[in-house]
Amino acid sequence: MSDTFGVASIAASVRSGALTASDVLEAHLERVAAHEDTIHAFNTVLADEARRRASSVDDRVASGHDPGPLAGVPIALKDNLCTRGTPTTCSSRILDGWRPPYDATVVERLAAAGAVVVGKTNLDEFAMGSSTENSAFGPTRNPHDPTRVPGGSSGGSAATVAAGFAAGALGSDTGGSIRQPAALCGVVGAKPTYGLVSRYGLIAFASSLDQVGPFAMSVEDAALILDAVSGPDPFDSTCLTSVVSPSASNLGRGVEGLRVGIISEMSEAEGLAPDVRARLVQAAEALESSGATVAPVNVPAVTYGLSAYYLIAPAEASSNLARYDGVRYGLRAPGTSDITEMYTESRSRGFGDEVKRRIMLGTYALSAGYYDAYYGQAQKVRTLIIRDFDAAYEKFDVLLSPTTPGTAFPIGEKSADPLTMYLNDVFTIPSNLAGHPAVSVPFGSGDDGLPIGIQVLAPALREAVMFQAAEVLESKSPANPIAPMRSALSLQPSARSAK
């Protein structure tokens, strides 16, 4: 069977008995064994646990029960999602040895849907980064070109899907950490509306911005994963309390009559690579030829998004990461003479340079005499961004922009210059500040042959129309590059189905 077997196809085949969950899992674990040393997408591979889970799914099918909408689908988890009894590191030494006593809500919901978790993926430490180079365990590499970054901070999750290590994955998106690596790795990545997916068990970076979302090889597959993990949760006070329409509900409807706005501030931005700009124009033309009305739109305040984000996010990180002090769990520096020295040494040894940089920036922005000038002003800019998006959505159903300024860059090229690295998220940050959904869709390749992503943005809780437009973009995409290691995947019919 085709290596393009994705979430929907695997689940349907396992539920019907055409494939067993165990066979599907072994095909993916073989890929992991063959290529993980090159890519380093995982911090932990959970092969034994995954085999037990796959066998349980097969037993349910054999007994005539429906295992769920993600039956037998191999899924990878970003290593900032709590998994009971399994190391959860955030790719940081500060959490060395910590095993959570509970599962994140999204992990429980994947299990209830029949998914099989294959491992915990590498990330920029505490999700702070745009390249997955800021990991205490070393960088993840792009499956299309191992000399290039996969993006970040959810680079490990994006790489697992691009390499065929899993059919889908979960990541977290604070300022583009799902969509940016999705674009660089040539997969679909979606950030949902803030509050649509529970954050319970997601280790916090910036609590007013963080959201959990899916990676997959297709728009349909991403929507199916999102539907499986979304919904109210009494353990998360920021989670929406009402059930909303399924994200996949508009798939197959096309875009006839849909109003699409091209964000001028992003499509004409300084620093946007010419090949990415060309693909954006091509994407707009593809939607227009499919029946959508396409026109430029101004969202002026998005130009201040990067500045506002790098005050708000570090300020919240400074508060959230204060709990990591060597007292209750994680790394504790030995041989210290008093508690202040122990705090200082534990945090100095446990945190990497980028995390320390953001903690210091955030602490400064919150300090007496500077709160109003920096953090307070950034929140006012956030309000302006929300107002400008609201005005745009009065005229348009969805908006279109590049996902990233360019394609995947070489490992080490930008790691010494934080500002250059931060600019990789300039097009994704505004959606986080507004709390709106956005999805990156692969749309051909750049002049270097590496994937390019186009971003579809929508108003809050309009995931269905967002995926509706994204699906048409996907169908009109120029030939997308396939990572060489993914192209060999083959899933064979199960012995059980052949009897």
Compute, in degrees rounded to 10, the torsion defined by CA atoms 118, 232, 458, 467. Answer: 50
**HEC profile for 379-435?**
HHHHHHHHHHHHHHHCCCCEEEEECCCCCCCECCCCCCCHHHHHHHHCCCHHHHHHC
How would DSSP label each residue in 90-147?
A: TT-GGGTT---SS--HHHHHHHHTT-EEEEEE--SGGG--SSS-S-TT----BTTBTT
Cβ neighbour number for residue 467 with a 10 Å cutoff:
30
Between CA 82 and CA 119 the distance in angstroms is 12
- With CA atoms as reference, report the closest residue to 400 among 321, 285, 492: 285
DSSP 301: G
What is the tally of helices (H) and strands (E) in the chain? 17, 11
Give me the amino acid identity at 54.
Answer: A
Of residues 9, 13, 22, 78, which has the active-site annotation? 78
Of residues 154, 177, 431, 494, which has the active-site annotation? 177
Alpha helices in 230-304 (DSSP H): 264-267, 274-289
CB contact set of 496 (below 8 Å; sequence gap of 6+): 17, 20, 58, 62
CA angle 175, 178, 180 (to 5 degrees): 75
Active site (annotated) includes residue 289: no
Active site (annotated) includes residue 153: yes
Do 84 and 101 touch, CB atoms closer than 8 A? Answer: yes
Dmax over CA atoms of the chain, in Å, equals 75
Instruction: State whether the Cα torsion 100-106-112-118 is positive or negative.
Output: negative
Between CA 430 and CA 421 the distance in angstroms is 17
- With CA atoms as reference, report the closest residue to 210 among 128, 306, 303: 128
Residue 432's region, left for phi above 0, alpha for psi from -120 to 50, else beta, is: alpha
Q: Give the 3-state secondary structure of residue 64.
A: coil
Active site (annotated) includes residue 154: no
Of residues 153, 154, 431, 477, which has the active-site annotation? 153
Give catalytic residues, as residue numbers.
78, 153, 177
